[in-house]
Structure 1
Amino acid sequence: MSEERKGLSDGVDESRGDPRVVLAMNAVLSLWLGWTIVWGLDLLGVMEYGPTTVAGVALAIFAVTYVVVLR
């Protein structure tokens, strides 16, 4: 056993990953966060809750995180 075992950080550093997984995770988390934000603002009476509003907020969150990650 002359080879040195690689640790988790070595594996993460060498991994190329799949960008589709990152995009899917971003979409799901953006939708969840958008729903939470709109629900909370509707509870406060600031914004009306609806699927279009949730989709718009989620799309904005998705776009911002996408730009920040690619920067």
Structure 2
Amino acid sequence: MRPRLDPVFLNTPLAHRALHDVTEGRPENSHAAISAAIAHGYGIEIDVQLSADSAAMVFHDYALDRLAEASGS
């Protein structure tokens, strides 16, 4: 039998990559976006990946191109 989630998890809206809005100074996965999500009562979904040198980082994409001034994985 699979464990059941508490119903609060099914009724709480989730902010994917936190509550981001770059026009308001809250880039995705940033401290500001996470703080905004918390302030608005949202759950937060963020992506944690390993960098090329095996350091943990919060970054949604598998490549740098969309958000960084660099390209590649």
Larger radius of gyration: 1
Scaled by the length of structure 2, what TM-score is found?
0.28
Structure number with greater CO (CA < 8 Å, separation at least 6) is 1
Q: As a proportion of its length, which structure holds more helix?
A: 1
Structure (1/2) with the larger strand percentage: 2
